Each structure stands twice: as structure tokens, then as C-alpha cells.
Amino acid sequence: MKILVFNCGSSSIKFKLFNMPEELVLAEGAIERVGSEDALASLKTQHGRVEASQSIADYPSGFAVIKAMLLNKDNGALTSLSEVSACGHRVVHGGEDFGGSMRIDDELEKGIKAVFELAPLHNPPNLTGIKESQKMFGDIPQIACFDTAFHNTIPEVAFRYALPEDLYTQYRIRRYGFHGMSHQFVARRAAKLLGKHKYAVNLITCHLGNGSSISAVRDGHSIDTSMGLTPLEGLVMGTRSGDLDPGIIFYLQRKGYDTSSVDTLLNKKSGLLGISGSSNDVRDLELKADGGDEKAALALDIFAYRIKKYIGSYMAVLNRVDAIVFTGGIGENGVAMRSRILSEMDQQGVIVDEMRNDVHAGAEGEIQASSSRIKIMVIPTNEELAIARDTYKMSRPDR
Ligand code: ADP
């Protein structure tokens, strides 16, 4: 059964074609810079990789290009669109209503629209992608997989802010959390690797990429996470500040910053980039720090320190922790960063084995020392596969 997974952003459409349940990737590609004269369309199949720069004005044109690429006789992956049995879509915000992946119908569409104002940059293009995919494939199941859904089990004590209740009831201001498909994927995989039932593990899952978040998982369910109403809260990120004193915003306003410049400052100019003054990329910063750049070294230290603090607080929340799991570009590959984060935690039962850590650059496995009470795992994430699995589960013929 062929399943096509879409991840539609404001200026990019990424897609991946799977054969399920074998989990075989038949094709993957992207349209980048949608809306520009020099958009880039790419496709990788068993026949190799093709790439072309062309003008792609909007989403409908982007989907037409995807269709042409997939059906291309020489290097495509399909002879007919009817081979695709279902499509899965990443949807960033599901609000409070969606605790799992759902088949898209008129009701669900209304639900996705209802939270547009909570994710104004993400949900509108996500929905446009769904509409285009419905037009392209006709009457096959279209499944929405929400980034917030895994965090739907967070209890009120953790999801409410210390604000008057009407801000929650009227404006839905609460912690939602993001990166759910990734946290769930690595949590399930960790359970399997630990030889435990998926609802029998307590974990701290660290998704560290350009956007970063961390979750406390009890009995396989998310019970707390670092991102909040928006993906700005929590860890230090590539260009986002993460947690800060809200008083800073008033102070900046008094200094003449307006709402949009504060928004840009905190989302685009802060984090690793803001502190280092030079880069949002951990690899660059490590090279710079090795060469004596003190600001780069400080950026890496602050990044690691924030994660350590969250790990400590989630250890307190969970009481028993089976494993700390690292994923995302930095979590999977950042050997030095993992050591930096977990340094001097031996009294908490967390000890990295440096040799094992080195060996697991981008590779799945355990990296704790034999004397470490808590396991430390590296698990490459695969959000597209997680979407393909949910889509398969919800649309297979025997369902
Ligand atoms: P996104 O959130 O955009 O998907 P990724 O998960 O791809 O981001 O992570 C990007 C980050 O991963 C960058 O900061 C990059 O420096 C970091 N990264 C990739 N490879 C390494 C590596 N070998 N060592 C340290 N960091 C790495």
C-alpha cells in the first residue's frame, strides 16, 4: 500500500512516498521557495536524484510539479496517481481537541481552521496542502497528524500558566507543546529497545534541532514539555530565545521596540545566533569555539545549561527515569554537545561513556557508562515515517 506524506510550510512542500507496511521509501522530494521565480523542485527515487529550478507561483503550481515529477516515465516513482492509497499530512497545531491522528473531513477541517490564530504561520499552509492533495488524489483517505497531539495527555497542573483562568477559557492560553510526532516516535522506539511495553517507560526525550524541545514521558505518555502556547518557550534554539523573564518585553517596549520588532528579535535574532553574534549552527559554533571565539563558546554553554536544567526538573517530576533520549540534528550528531549537557550529573545517576558517545554519532544506541543508573540513548527521529505509520493504521483496507 503506497502512502504519500506531506509536510507543507509557508514556502516549502516536502513529500515522501512509502510502501507500507514494509516502511520502504520509494521517493522523496521537495519544492523549496514556493512563490518565487527560482523555486527549487527535487525528487529522489531508485533512479537517482533530479533537481530543477523554475518559477512556482503558488501551492497549486507546486502540486502540479510534484505530480509531474512522480509520474515522470524516466525517473518518477508512479505510473498512475491511483497507486497512492492514502496521504498523511503534518499539521502543526491541533489545539485541545485532537489527541491523535485523524481522518480529514469537513469537521476536522473546521477544527484546523479554528486554531489558525494559535499557529498563524503553520496551520494555513498545512491546510492548503491538504486541499491541494484532496484535489490531486480525489476520494482517498487524507490523514492529519498533529505536532501537538502527543502532548494532549499533559495534565492541567503542567499545561496551565499561572494566569487568570479567563485567559485560558476565553483565549485558550495554555501550554500545547510541539514536535509531538518526534517525541512519540523516539519514545516508542526507546521502549522497544529497552524491551518494555510502550506504556511502561518513563523517559526524558530531548529533540534538539534548529527548533528544540524536551518532554517528560511517564508510562509512555507526555506529561510535560518545554514548548508552550507557541514554539518560542523553553530551550535555547537556533534563533529563538526560549524561556525569559516576560518583564524584558515591557522593558524593550519602553525602549521603543514595537510588537513586531520584539517578535522578530525573540524568534529570529536570539538563541545561539543572538548570543554568538555569528551563527545558529552548532557545528559552526563548535569550530569557532575551538578557535578561541568566546561568544561562540558561551552560546554553546548556555544552550547546554538550559537543557541540563530541564532534564533536572523532569527527573524531579518523573521520579523514576528509565532513559534520557537524544534526537534531532544536534541530539543525534552532537557528540560534544551531549557530553556538555550531561556533564557532572553522576550524583543523579547519569554518566556518559565517552567512547560509546563517540561511536554513536548519528547512530542509534546506548551511550551510558555501565555505572550509570539511568540509560542514555541516541535515537534518530523519523517524523515522516511516524506520519506514514499513523496514516497506514487509519486507512488500511481491513480497518
Ligand atoms: P531542524 O529543526 O531544522 O530540522 P535539524 O534537526 O536538522 O534541524 O538540526 C540542525 C542542527 O543540527 C544544526 O544546529 C546543526 O549544527 C546540528 N548538527 C548537525 N550535525 C551536527 C554534528 N555533527 N555535530 C553537532 N551538531 C550538528
pLDDT in tens, 265-274: 999 999 999 9
Separation of alpha carbons 203 and 143, rounded Å: 28
pLDDT at 117: 87
Domain architecture of the chain: domains with CATH: 2-146 (3.30.420.40), 197-383 (3.30.420.40)
CA-closest residue to ligand 1 atom 25: 334
Cβ–Cβ under 8 Å, residues 183 and 222: yes
Q: What percent of the chain has pLDDT over 90?
A: 96
**Among 97, 147, 263, 293, the one annotated catalytic:** 147
Give phi and psi for 208, each to the nearest 5. -115, 105
- Nearest-angstrom CA–CA distance, 119 and 109: 15
> What number is the average pLDDT over the span 240-263?
97
Binding site membership of 362 for ligand 1 (Cβ less than 6 Å):
no
**Chain Cα centroid distance, residue 217:** 16
pLDDT at 120: 85
pLDDT for residue 157: 98
Q: Residue 10 has what pLDDT? A: 84
Looking at ligand 1, which residue's alpha carbon is closest to its atom 27?
330
Residue 330 has pLDDT above 90, yes or no: yes
Q: What single-letter DSSP state applies at residue 84?
A: E
> What pLDDT score does 100 carry?
94
Ligand 1 within 6 A of CB of 329: yes
pLDDT for the residue 261 = 97
**147: annotated active-site residue:** yes
DSSP symbol at 325: E
pLDDT band at 118 (very low <50, low <70, confident <90, very high): confident
pLDDT at 121: 85
Question: What is the band of 397 on the pLDDT scale with cuts at 50, 70, 90?
Answer: confident
On the question of pLDDT at 399 being above 80, the answer is no
| Best mutation site among 282, 288, 341 for ligand 1 pocket (most ligand atoms within 8 Å of CB) | 282
Residue pair 366/353 in contact by the 8 Å Cβ criterion: no
Work out the average pLDDT over 367-388: 97
Structural contact between residues 206 and 350, judged by C-beta atoms closer than 8 angstroms: no
pLDDT for res 125: 94
Please determine, for residue 300, whether its predicted confidence score (pLDDT) is greater than 90.
yes
Rounded distance from Cα 357 to ligand 1 centre (Å): 17
Task: Evaluate if residue 285 carries a pLDDT over 80.
Answer: yes
Q: For residue 210, report the distance from its CA to the centre of ligand 1, in Å.
A: 7
Q: What is the pLDDT of residue 186?
A: 98
352 vs 7: CA distance, rounded Å: 35
Residue of the nearest CA to atom 19 in ligand 1? 329
295 Cα–ligand 1 center, Å: 19
Separation of CA 242 and ligand 1 centre (Å):
17
Residue 1 neighbours by CB distance under 10 Å:
16
Confirm or reject: Cβ of 95 under 6 Å from ligand 1. Answer: no
pLDDT at 398 over 80: no
Residue 231 near ligand 1, beta carbon < 6 Å: no
Measured over the CA atoms of residue 342, residue 237, residue 285 and residue 299, the dihedral's sign is negative
pLDDT at residue 221 tops 90: yes
Q: How many CB atoms lie within 10 A of CB 310?
A: 25
Kindly give the number of the ligand 1 atom that is closest to the alpha carbon of 211: 2
Check if 327 has its Cβ closer than 6 Å to any atom of ligand 1.
Answer: no
Ligand 1 and 211: CB distance under 6 A: yes
Top mutation candidate among 186, 275, 283, 383 for ligand 1, by most atoms within 8 Å of CB: 283
- Tell me the average pLDDT across 243-264: 97
What is the number of the ligand 1 atom nearest to the C-alpha of 285?
16
Testing ligand 1's pocket by substitution, the residue of 330, 341, 360, 384 carrying the most ligand atoms inside 8 A of its CB is 330
Q: Which residue has the cell 526538573?
A: 313
The pLDDT score that the predictor gives to residue 369 is 98
Cα(105) to ligand 1 centroid in Å equals 36
Give, rounded to a whole angstrom, the gap between the first and last alpha carbons of the chain.
Answer: 14
Specify the pLDDT at position 374: 98
- pLDDT for 62 equals 96
- Is the pTM higher than 0.85? The answer reads yes
Beta-bridge partners for 2? 19, 84
380: its cell numbers: 534518530
Mean pLDDT of 52-64: 95
Q: Alpha carbon 305 to chain centroid distance?
A: 21
Does the beta carbon of 228 sit less than 6 angstroms from any atom of ligand 1? no
What is the spatial distance between Cα 379 and Cα 363, in angstroms, rounded to a whole number?
7
Q: Are strands 221-225 and 203-208 parallel, antiparallel or unpaired?
A: unpaired
In percent, how much of the chain has pLDDT > 70? 100
Predicted pLDDT of residue 364: 98
Q: Answer for the pair 46, 63: CB distance below 8 angstroms, yes or no.
A: no
Ligand 1 contact, 9 CB (< 6 A): no
Average pLDDT of 73-83? 95
CA of 238 to the centre of ligand 1 (A): 9
Mean pLDDT taken over the chain = 96
Q: Whose CA is nearest to atom 3 of ligand 1?
A: 210
